[in-house]
Amino acid sequence: MEVYHGKSVFGGIAIGRLHIYNKKNIQVKRRHIEDTNMEIERFRTAKDTAIAQLGVLYEKSMATVGAANAAIFEIHQMMLEDDDFLESVENMIHAQQINAEYAVAMTSDNFANMFAAMDDDYMKGRAADVRDISERVLMALSGQEADRVETSEPVIVVADDLAPSETVQMDKSKVLSFVTIHGSTNSHTAILARTMGIPALVGTPVSLHPDMNGKMAVVDGDTGMIYVEPDSETLAKMQEKYDALQTKKELLQTLKGKETITLDGQKVMLYANIGNYKDLASVLENDAEGIGLFRSEFLYLESDTYPTEEEQLKVYRAVAETMAGKRVIIRTLDIGADKQAAYFELPKEENPAMGCRAIRICLTRPEIFKTQLRALFRASAFGKIAIMYPMITSMSEIVRIKQIVEEVKQELTEAGVPFGNPEQGIMIETPAAVMISDKLAKEVDFFSIGTNDLTQYTLAIDRQNEQMDDFYDSHHQAVLRMIAMTVENAHRENIWCGICGELGADPSLSKWFVSIGVDELSMSPRSLLFIRKIIRETDVSAEGEQIKRQYL
């Protein structure tokens, strides 16, 4: 048995086999090509490599998981030999004098969109396959082996580090747990693991040797341990802990359908954080009262190009309709810093967390912002959507946002396109926004405090820097005082104030949040019922003053 210790990102027990994740790093850029015949040859070689890889996978899967599960690799081989696909790539290379990578990526998009638009569910499903095979060819063109979780059983994914764009593209049903060597507990990859509600560790000095692939292991997300090839005693102990956790989860189920209200009648809106439509299953399962933060940038990270207005509308509308009248707060894209999408072609910055990110991108590239706003305003005709703007630091940003919103509404009106009247709020996640929250409160419908960035900017600690994890103290009195000040300023202007940063799910602070009057707490869906339990056991009139003073 080998034992490694890391930093826990989310608790729980995972028992399964290891999958060593190989980083893929393909950025497709358009290049001009002189000798197109040679480029076509390069494409054909890469395609043959991909077909050969699929053949190996097919044989391996036949032996381990049987014909039915192996069939997909055979289908992918056939798709790579499809004349339409090949002709499209080769024509593009030839006619436009472009590199093979770009032609493959474009063909992939075109074909995938075509399949996705079909009525037949089976054909719709082929869109993902087209992307899959194209990615494999792209990897072959770059001389790398594609990595994806290609097992029939769910696995424990072990990696050097994972970018949010990689994590978000994984097939979640195949992942039992994440374990990474690097990575900070405050990164977006960590947040994604929490949203998925699976045990996850970062900063774990585990081996990435290919021999590790397929070994049995147990991840204990509570203690931060991973046991590789556990001895029978450890395995039995972990199985017992796993069973106990299941029982506890079942007990929490009894809180479903109950109000989130203190013993003396103070209500709290208990909302969920999500990254995409697929997270809704967990939202409903855990009885969220609304969506407090839909990180819309994941739509952009999942895509190879800017999602169109129609594509976005479809997702926002579906979320709003699924939530059936409950509030759905959609945050406008918060790209930049650790959340990078190559096609944005953001300039390389010395200090990206303090650079061009979030609302700063939207205000400097209003055409991107307007596309999203149009989709949001249109979707709000189908449910209770609220729009939230991230990374606000000054009043002038609000003024500019309002101008752009007016232009969008005007354009929609002129085009005769129906739209709703969503609430509009802002994230309070910079010290600047806290300090002028008295003024900002007069301009917006609600505040939501982003404690992840607020901690980063208040304490001057890069949330991505794993060496600084011990200094990243979101319980720092400066941070807590800022939260209290923001809530007070919001209430003075009769608007509500919530918390959607990770601190919102911190059970040691739940009573304090209630005692200072926080109106809403939004968190990963799996944390909801436990926080509801704490709030239902709190008596603000009896304990409030004492708890309040505890941190101020």
> DSSP H helical segments within 444-526, as ranges?
451-459, 477-492, 510-515
Q: If residue 19 lies in a helix (H) or strand (E), which one and from where to where? A: strand 13-20
Give me the amino acid identity at 552.
Answer: L
User: DSSP letter string over 514-545?
Assistant: HHTT--EEEE-GGGHHHHHHHHHT--HHHHHH
For residue 352, state whether it binds ligand PEP (rule: CB under 6 A).
no
Q: Can you tell me the distance from the alpha carbon of 486 to that of 186, in angstroms, rounded to the nearest whole number?
A: 22
**Count of chain residues binding Mg ion (CB under 5 A):** 3
CA distance readout (Å), 59 to 50, 55, 73, 252: 14, 6, 9, 45
Window 290 to 319, contacts with ligand PEP (CB under 6 A): 293, 295
Q: Binding ligand PEP by CB under 6 A: which of 372, 424, 452, 474?
A: 452
Q: How far is the CB of 522 from ligand PEP (least distance, A)?
A: 8
Instruction: Choose one: 44-52, 129-137, 311-319, 448-456; the region binding ligand PEP (CB under 6 A).
Output: 448-456
**Count of chain residues binding ligand PEP (CB under 6 A):** 11
Q: If residue 428 lies in a helix (H) or strand (E), which one and from where to where? A: strand 423-428
Nearest to 96 by CA among 30, 51, 168: 30
Sequence-ordered list of residues with C-beta below 8 angstroms from that of 136, at least 6 positions apart, any chain: 50, 53, 54, 76, 80, 146
For residue 498, state whether it binds Mg ion (rule: CB under 5 A).
no
For residue 500, state whether it binds ligand PEP (rule: CB under 6 A).
yes
Question: Strand pairing partners for 33?
Answer: none
Q: How far is the CB of 540 from ligand PEP (least distance, A)?
A: 25
For residue 289, state whether it binds ligand PEP (rule: CB under 6 A).
no
Please answer whether residues 203 and 7 qualify as being in contact, where contact means their C-beta atoms are separated by less than 8 angstroms: yes
Please answer whether residues 4 and 226 qualify as being in contact, where contact means their C-beta atoms are separated by less than 8 angstroms: yes
Instruction: Choose one: 13-21, 81-89, 170-178, 444-452; the region binding ligand PEP (CB under 6 A).
Output: 444-452
Q: How far is the CB of 450 from Mg ion (least distance, A)?
A: 4
Nearest to 9 by CA among 182, 168, 218, 184: 184
Window 316 to 335, contacts with ligand PEP (CB under 6 A): 334
Window 53 to 92, contacts with ligand PEP (CB under 6 A): none
Q: Closer to Mg ion by CB, 338 or 453: give it.
A: 453
Q: If residue 403 lies in a helix (H) or strand (E), which one and from where to where? A: helix 395-414
For residue 451, state whether it binds ligand PEP (rule: CB under 6 A).
yes
Q: Is 184 strand, coil or helix?
A: coil
Residue 295 contacts which entry, ligand PEP, Mg ion, none (Cβ below 5-8 A, type-dependent): ligand PEP
Q: Is 103 strand, coil or helix?
A: helix
Q: How far is the CB of 289 from ligand PEP (least distance, A)?
A: 18
Q: Closer to Mg ion by CB, 101 or 429: give it.
A: 429
Sequence-ordered list of residues with C-beta below 8 angstroms from that of 98, at least 6 positions apart, any chain: 30, 31, 32, 33, 92
DSSP 8-state secondary structure symbol assigned to residue 84: H
For residue 338, state whether it binds ligand PEP (rule: CB under 6 A).
no
Q: How far is the CB of 256 from ligand PEP (least distance, A)?
A: 25
For 416, half-sphere exposure in the C-beta direction (CA atoms, 13 angstrom radius) is: 0
Is beta strand 175-180 parallel, antiparallel or unpaired with respect to 200-202? parallel
For residue 458, state whether it binds ligand PEP (rule: CB under 6 A).
no
Window 409 to 468, contacts with Mg ion (CB under 5 A): 429, 450, 453
Residue 500 contacts which entry, ligand PEP, Mg ion, none (Cβ below 5-8 A, type-dependent): ligand PEP
For residue 462, state whether it binds ligand PEP (rule: CB under 6 A).
no
Q: Closer to ligand PEP by CB, 101 or 429: give it.
A: 429
Instruction: Choose one: 148-156, 404-412, 451-459, 543-551; the region binding ligand PEP (CB under 6 A).
Output: 451-459
Q: Closer to Mg ion by CB, 230 or 450: give it.
A: 450
Q: Is 511 strand, coil or helix?
A: helix
For residue 101, state whether it binds Mg ion (rule: CB under 5 A).
no
Q: Binding ligand PEP by CB under 6 A: which of 135, 397, 453, 506?
A: 453
Instruction: Choose one: 257-265, 431-439, 449-457, 465-473; the region binding ligand PEP (CB under 6 A).
Output: 449-457
Q: How far is the CB of 283 from ligand PEP (least distance, A)?
A: 16
Query: Apex CA 385: angle with CA 379 and CA 386, to 5°?
Result: 125
Q: How far is the CB of 511 from Mg ion (least distance, A)?
A: 25
Q: How far is the CB of 327 from ligand PEP (least distance, A)?
A: 16
List residues with catalytic annotation: 188, 500
Q: Closer to ligand PEP by CB, 191 or 361: give it.
A: 191
Q: Closer to ligand PEP by CB, 450 or 544: give it.
A: 450
Please answer whether residues 405 and 440 qualify as being in contact, where contact means their C-beta atoms are separated by less than 8 angstroms: no
Q: How far is the CB of 429 from ligand PEP (least distance, A)?
A: 5
Nearest to 392 by CA among 345, 446, 341: 446
**Residue ranges in contact with ligand PEP by CB under 6 A:** 191, 293, 295, 334, 429, 450-453, 500-501
**Residue ranges in contact with Mg ion by CB under 5 A:** 429, 450, 453
